Amino acid sequence: MMEPLIQVQNLSKYFKISKHEILKAVEDVSFDIYEGETVGLVGESGCGKSTTGRCLVKLYNPTQGKVLYNGKDIFGAKSKAEKLEYCNNTQMIFQNPYSSLNPRMTVKDIVGEGIKLHEQVNEKELDERIEDLLRAVGLNRDHMSRFSHEFSGGQRQRIGIARALSVNPKFIVCDEPISALDVSIQAQVLNMLKKLQKERGLTYLFIAHDLSVVKYISDRVIVMYLGMMMEQADADELYKNPMHPYTKALLSAIPEADPNIAKSKDRIKLKGEIPSPINPKDCCRFVERCAYAKPICSEQIPKFKMVDGKANHKVACHLY
Ligand code: SF4
């Protein structure tokens, strides 16, 4: 059996708000990502998906748990070489292409910064590398001397992707990379990410709140709610046989293009709002909004376990 490239083991990230208040952004999250695959992480705003992604690129130190890269603990690295190895192999594409690019830097400076930091290249080699990267994301050499404000949102996100690729990473956390873009541009950027993955053997954690986007790009999907994992399955299996009441509600909210199918589709409306992640109770995090809640749901956190008879399908719910 192939070893996973990334192993997330019982990862928790808490933020202390005050003496008695702890925001549990991520709690006891465990999953693997294999080389060359795309794992989609989906859920509403505030479910902990971006915090999980930020722990994976070491922007946050976890409160508990481990992240292993090729079997090595990324937070336990002692030597400079070990720390650099993970930094070089891991990059992030940010959600907002308007704020994630420095407006005072040219495209050449933005894309070339990582190359100059990690390698010794002369000016000619640097220009050639940047030109190759810009071509890979659908831009060209003429764009090198321009500033980010001279580009559209889609082009800015392409610059962000070229920057992420500049250090030849193996693993990229894509944090809602298309949610700030016009719908007409979203498909172009998604297709480009798929093409780059194939050409460069990349592995993605793709974070999004839109399940239809996640389905299009992911091999496996993880559904999060209020900091915890609710369900995980291969993408096709999750969409055909959702088991967790929250996943079912999310899937029922995907708009249907065919009016005949849309008419027959029952939309599950969730009651209330997503509760506060500050000092959450030790019970099912979805209990206040679940139509199937039983007494045990308010007393115990359901175990995240494999569904009987289904390969690779896990769910955290007392119904199973
Ligand atoms: Fe609903 Fe209970 Fe399942 Fe939670 S554990 S999703 S409250 S049925």
Task: Give the burial class of 90: count Cβ atoms within 10 A of its Cβ; 0-12 exposed, 13-18 middle, 19 or more buried.
Answer: buried
Write out the chain's pLDDT in tens, 320 residues: 578 999 999 999 999 999 999 999 999 999 999 999 999 999 988 899 999 999 999 999 999 999 999 999 999 888 888 888 888 899 999 988 888 889 999 999 999 999 998 888 899 999 999 999 999 999 999 999 999 899 988 899 999 999 999 999 999 999 998 888 888 889 999 999 999 999 999 999 999 988 888 988 999 999 999 999 999 999 999 999 999 999 999 998 877 777 777 677 777 878 878 888 999 999 999 999 999 999 999 999 999 999 888 778 999 999 99
Q: Kindly state if the Cβ of 285 falls inside 6 Å of ligand 1.
A: no
Q: Tell which atom from ligand 1 comes closest to the C-alpha of 245.
A: 6
Q: Kindly state if the Cβ of 318 falls inside 6 Å of ligand 1.
A: yes
Q: Tell me the C-alpha distance between 6 and 170, whole Å.
A: 11
- DSSP class of 71: T
Distance 298 CA to ligand 1 centre (A): 9
* Cα dist from 81 to 73, 78, 86, 112, whole Å: 14, 9, 9, 22
Q: Tell which atom from ligand 1 comes closest to the C-alpha of 244.
A: 6
Place of tokens 């130190």: 61
Residue of minimum CA distance from atom 6 in ligand 1: 317
Q: 317 and 302 in contact (C-beta within 8 Å)?
A: yes
pLDDT at 269: 79
Q: Kindly state if the Cβ of 293 falls inside 6 Å of ligand 1.
A: yes
Q: Kindly state if the Cβ of 297 falls inside 6 Å of ligand 1.
A: yes
Q: 228 and 27 in contact (C-beta within 8 Å)?
A: yes
Which of 299, 301, 318, 320 should be mutated for ligand 1, with most atoms under 8 A from CB? 318
Q: Kindly state if the Cβ of 26 falls inside 6 Å of ligand 1.
A: no
- DSSP class of 79: S
Q: What count of other Cβ atoms lies within 10 Å of the Cβ of residue 25? A: 23
Helices and strands in the chain: count of H runs, count of E runs: 10, 12
Q: Tell which atom from ligand 1 comes closest to the C-alpha of 292.
A: 8
Distance 213 CA to ligand 1 centre (A): 26
Q: Kindly state if the Cβ of 317 falls inside 6 Å of ligand 1.
A: yes
Distance 309 CA to ligand 1 centre (A): 21
Q: Kindly state if the Cβ of 245 falls inside 6 Å of ligand 1.
A: yes
pTM over 0.85: yes
Using DSSP's 3-state secondary structure scheme, residue 217 falls into helix
Pairing of the two strands 38-42 and 220-225: parallel
Q: Kindly state if the Cβ of 292 falls inside 6 Å of ligand 1.
A: yes
Distance 22 CA to ligand 1 centre (A): 24
Distance 15 CA to ligand 1 centre (A): 26
pLDDT at 1: 58
Residue of minimum CA distance from atom 3 in ligand 1: 317
Q: Tell me the C-alpha distance between 160 and 105, whole Å.
A: 13
